[in-house]
Structure 1
């Protein structure tokens, strides 16, 4: 047997059966998947406990084997090419199947617990339903969902940590859950100066409810709706998005909030969006870069969530 370009191949003599075509090494495929997930060779190397040069060489060998580039290499980041985007889902599924087969052969006592740290508003309004959906398909897992408020330290013992970050605070390796937008919500039939609220201009006379953890939500909405003279100082305040939403549901005014947090209230009909408001949010929820190598159950839930199941 010999090796060509880093892959196994069989020597062949005339008259012998046609040899099986060589296949890529598994660790090269793992390096490609990790690099594609992080879009960074260094972060992939840290996750897989390789050097950055090793990850780069694995990917380059895989590209030589395929005869197609998988990444566009920028100075400080990577970008998947068309072939790379097409290749990634199949490789990710195959690696998950290998992982599942390996775990199935291990004793049933194998640890399948996942601890998640998540801002309490997102935990109650969004993450709880995603955990339920995951457990419906993975009944052997045990998940602990810890809700955090402001500076809670629960994240130090969590396998996965969700944090809300301004676009300027995002770190390499943070994984975006989904792009957010800001919306304005109020109780159905909420009146402003004797009229039902239905136009952005009426906000100038409406009661504004402020979420203290996001002081300029109203500032971002005012800019997005061209309301230069909106009074951003008066009104009821709370340090909790959920409390602010409950205040709005009680008819005390309007609140500018991430739409993902308002969705359960809108679905129940206790709040409504009085007018269209498609303002991109400068804050989004991210799965923070893991401080240590993720154990398989935590990686499985993380991949499931990032693959669009959320």
Structure 2
């Protein structure tokens, strides 16, 4: 995604928030104090609001900083745990796969369950990817969501994304249940920060000239967008692969036709398929992959 802060800036924020000292954070992270201060200033500029109150001899978190810290800490712990697992000595038959976390939880789990039935002796480690700027060598296999024109020639396209407009089964949109494209323009919209063109694609498809793609709630997580839609009278637009489990469990409905998307889901460069086990999993995912 293009709308995420740098990982180093988040690490500096977490360390400084924990110690309430830029100097202590710099010592811990092996940065200079000015580097930590610059990281946090850049993060605050990115967010558009201060995270710290700076006193003459001390620091304190703003209310926004206090609210932001647990999520950042949890995400960094996930990154650290995944990296430690990948860097540890591997068993001979282990494969590491990196995948956007929403796709990992809503599509990949079923595929890996099916793979385990065929190859029970191959252990798979899933790295649910949060940050775009990860090292590409973090995994044997990488699943990516990207614009078709941005993919390398060596990538294997699994499917072209189809977008679904989602609502809670009991949602009331413009005075009635959600059933028609015209209601979209009257509804609260939930936006994904990494895919600002999703609602624009919906507007073009249904010829909604009055659709405002700028208003509404925003999140960088497809799962969070769907959870919010399931709890109120707001609409989310999500790729079909991610939406399918929520629809199957009756948490959301998608009464309108699917919308074509310029985004594709693909297996990226095959240069890391160094083992037979990785090649087997790669071939399995490439076959019959479309949700």
Do they fold alike, i.e. is TM over 0.5? yes
TM-score, normalized by length of structure 2?
0.66
Partner Cα distance (1:217, 1:150) in 2 = 20
2:91 matches 1:113: no
Q: Which structure has more RCO (C-alpha within 8 Å, separation ≥ 6)? A: 2
Q: Within 5 A, what are the aligned runs for 1:128-207?
A: 128-153=109-134, 155-207=136-188
Q: Is the 8 A contact 1:117 1:154 kept in 2?
A: no
Once the two structures are superposed, what CA deviation does each residue of 1:157-200 show, in whole Å capped at 9, x if it has no partner? 20001111112212101001122211100100211222111110
Alignment-derived partner of residue 47 in structure 1 = none
Larger radius of gyration: 1
Paired residue for 1:94?
A: none
Could you report, residue by residue, the CA deviation over 1:99-146 in whole angstroms, capped at 9, with x for unpaired residues? xxxxxxxxxx98211100000000000001111110111110000011
Would you say the 8 A contact 1:117–1:155 is kept in 2? no
Indicate if the aligned counterparts of 2:158 and 2:266 stay in contact, CA closer than 8 A.
yes
* 1:150, distance to aligned residue in structure 2 (A): 3.0
Unpaired runs of 5+ residues, structure 1, are: 1-108
Distance 1:154 1:270, change over 3 A: farther
Aligned residues: 201
Q: Distance in 2 between matches of 1:112 and 1:181?
A: 35
Alpha-carbon spacing, 1:309–1:148, altered in 2? closer, same or farther (3 Å): closer
Contact 2:141 2:273 in 1 (8 A): no
2:260 aligned residue: 280
- Report the aligned-residue RMSD: 1.7
Contact (CA 8 Å) 1:182, 1:256: kept in 2 or not? yes
Of the three residues 259, 274, 277, the one matched with 1:294 is 274
Structure 1 distance, partners of 2:98, 2:246, is 23
Deviations 1:256-299 (A, max 9, x none): 11011000000000000132x22211111111012345311000
Normalising by the residue count of structure 1, what TM-score does the alignment of the two structures yield? 0.62
Measured in 1, the distance between the counterparts of 2:273 and 2:191 equals 39
Gaps of 5+ in 2: 1-89
- Contact kept in structure 2, 1:146 and 1:154, CA below 8 Å: no
1:293/1:198 CA distance change after superposition, 3 Å: closer
**What does residue 237 of structure 1 align with?**
218
Measured in 2, the distance between the counterparts of 1:147 and 1:186 equals 26
- Equivalent residue number for residue 103 of structure 2: 122
